[in-house]
Structure formats: structure tokens, C-alpha cells
Structure 1
Amino acid sequence: MVEAQSTAAKTGAYKYEDGTRYVGEWNAKGQKHGMGHLVLPDSTRYDGGLHNGLCSGLGVMSFPDGAKYEGEFMQGWFHGHGVFWRSDGMKFEGEFRGGRVWGLGLVTFSDGSHGFPRNEGFFQDCKMTRRKRCPEVIQKAQKVAYMARAQCQQM
């Protein structure tokens, strides 16, 4: 996990020509760096760590359709452990790589079930390729999501 520590040169707000708004820390190069709050023109919101202008470290991203991700980011992507809720209530708790469900995890459907047989195991590019119990990965994803949410509440 890449930590977006406060090597910030200053704190401030900026509104870009495309309507993007940012409030948070900046580095000496004028890049978003440290802790910040970003709202994109389509109303996608990001609260969390940034490193040289990109979402990195722990953060929460909320989408206009109601979908949400809480967890680790790297170079702008969901990357590491986290929890993603689709707008229809379906949830994935587990590992992500390059913005995709990739690694061990568990799918929970909007009715609270996990499917039959249980949708827990190894996922590659959002598709389950092998069933395997992975409670430790699911617990880590839940813990990381909680930490991301708690960090954002302190901002």
C-alpha cells in the first residue's frame, strides 16, 4: 500500500475548467498530494489519500449511480484490499488489481446470499476462476474499508 503522507506544501481549493473541484493538500509541484476531497464533473466523489495527483493509499469513491468503493488505491486505481458495492446492492469484499476485481474474495448478492455454490474464491478480471474459502482476505478487506471510511470522517 502506498501511503499518501503529508509532504504537502500547502492546503487549498481549486475548481478546474471542466467543473472538477478539489479541496485538500498540494505538493510543491502543484499536484494534489496528501489528503483531499475531489468531485468530478459527473458527481463522482473521492475522499482520501493522493500521491502526485493520483488517488493512492486509503480512500472512498462514490459514484453518481450509487455504487461505492472503500479501500486501497494505487496510481488512481482500486488496488489492494477493499469493498465495492454496486448500485443494485451486490457487494464484493476482497482483492483488486488495476481497478478490477482480481484475487481472492466473496460476492454477496443484494438479498444477502452468496449464491449456491458459494461465490467465494479466486477472481480474475471480475470472473471467479476457482472456488476457495478465504475468510482472512475477506476480513482484511472489511478492515481496510473501515479504516478508509474512518480516515475520511476525520477530514
Structure 2
Amino acid sequence: MKHASLFGLIAALGATTALAEVVAPTKVMFDEGVVAASLTGVAGDAAEGRKVFANRKQGNCLACHANSDLSEESFHGEVAPMLDGVADRWNEAELRGIVANAKMTFEDTMMPAFYIDSGYVRPLEGFDGQSILTAQQVEDVVAYLMTLKEE
């Protein structure tokens, strides 16, 4: 009987995960820059988010932001705010909005919109119609940013 209950629980969890749909870039709901709901329905992975954050061909966040947690990486940027303690300044929904499209929060920001698939000023050939990051990568970066608290 215990096995049947466990099997039912596993099946229900699998069905819930399977029903979670990725929110398309054009369907992201911003409320004054905030994106309250997950873009994937799946929790972000902070370790993967750290990799995306540091990757010069993906997030490339270090091009503009300094971050003491990534001290092993060289050439931190100085044109955007330091991200040490960012999780103390912004909540998860606010950070999701900023990563997805910072222009919804900061109108004149230079920060790219990481989760839009159209409206770029000068897209590279072959990249129009694609977002810089996937929905899950946005969730992963947000999960990583949520680990950056003041010590």
C-alpha cells in the first residue's frame, strides 16, 4: 500500500512539472517592472545561474557589474551597480523583471533585455526572433542573484 501511495505522489508531481509551460517573451507580465510569476514554473538553479552570469557569451553580467562572489573572474565592469548584497535590495520578482527586461524598471538603462525576442535595435544576423537567455536561464540567474546577500 505504501508503494502505491508513493507511486501516486510521484505521478502527481510529474504531471505538475509536465503541465508547467514556459512563458514566451511576448507573454511576460510586467507590473511596474516586476514579474511576479516564474517564467518556467520550475525553480531556478543558483549554481547554473552563477555560470550564466559569468559566461561572457551568455549573460556577460561581469561586463558591467562587479561581484565579489566571482572574484576568480577577471575584468569586472564598473558602469553598473555593484551586485554584492543585491538580494537585500531587490526581491525575487523584482530581480526577475530586471533580468528579463530592465527597461521596464529603469527606462534609460543600458542593460540589455535578456528575455525579449524582438525589438532589438541592431540584432546580429541569425539572432532576431531569439532571446539572449532562455526562460530557465533567467530563473537560474535570479536564483543566483538571490544568494548575493550582505554578510
Bigger radius of gyration: 2
Higher RCO structure (Cα 8 Å, ≥6 apart):
2
Q: Comparing both structures, which one devotes a greater share of its residues to strand? A: 1
TM-score when normalising by structure 2: 0.28
Q: Comparing both structures, which one devotes a greater share of its residues to helix? A: 2
TM-score when normalising by structure 1: 0.28
